[in-house]
Chains A and B, each alone.
Chain A
């Protein structure tokens, strides 16, 4: 197996993408590509999705800020693998629980210089009733973000708290959309902005997208109150199904979610990162 430097070709229409998929996504192909039609169309429209290919193997690359997200299509592990090395490359490998962990694939990428980055578990909860408001945090106020000042605070907090490569940093469009849709719950402690929780309704599931508490305000139970409001307000609207991804090593967060009834949802993703230079 050899990493072979290639030139990236961008997809500019669905026909080209279909040809690519039909050439490289065959019976038995090892892949971490889980795009559906709407995602493909969005990335093609934004001219962010391209590929590098050899005769048997290919990678699709999605441009993100200053790195690539990689989606592989491996048909022959012994053959050349094309890649770009002008900026960091990250990939997510998703699997159904520890017993299905794709060790061979992970070792393959490790042999090509990719390092294990973060592992996240999918957690789900079905919650039908309002939560009791026990042990409130004094001098804490929770509200939906409305102002540009709050939005700027949220943008900075998420950018400095989340993992750059796998934290799904929000674009300006995302930030504005979530503000407009009242998807940001802000925490204020003694009058100062202290944390945020962002959620999104997708197909009747309430996804907890991001949660962050400013380091100066940690240990006060603010995250717990944010999660409580996220669940209680959405329950009030008649929603019952909640989901999120949590970093496996973040025991504090795991335990917090478990207290609210979240259980392992059967899916785990391991990210691997190659920094390049």
Chain B
């Protein structure tokens, strides 16, 4: 999780990722942010995210992103 926070804070230093739980639903992250995050996750964890996973359920919170990364890392 700590590495996730580092990546996210590198992309959006203005966002409090520890407390925000509706990052996409509240419009805090936009599509540019999400794809930037995916690129970093891809580089860092070597995961491949399917197109239909590019939505709020996987990107609304750090916990949701962590769950997705762990799930895709096992594949």
Contacts and interface: CB of A to CB of B under 8 A. Distances in A.
B55 A203 contact: no
Interface in A176-224: 202-205
A28 interface: yes
Interface string B32-72: 10110001001100101011111100000000000000000
Contacts of A37: 51-55
B31 interface: yes
A253 interface: no
Given A204-B27, A241-B27, A36 B54 contact: yes
Contacts of A34: 31-32, 34-35
B27 A36 contact: no
How many interface residues does chain B have, given as a range?
20 to 34
Interface string A40-82: 1100000000000000000000000000000000000000000
Contact of A203 (B26, B39, B54): B26
A267 B34 CA distance: 14
Interface residues of A, number: 29
Interface in A17-36: 17-18, 21-22, 25-29, 31, 33-36
Interface of A: 14, 17-18, 21-22, 25-29, 31, 33-41, 94, 202-205, 241, 243, 266-267
B14 interface: yes
A38 B24 CA distance: 13
Given A14-B52, A27-B43, A36 B26 contact: no
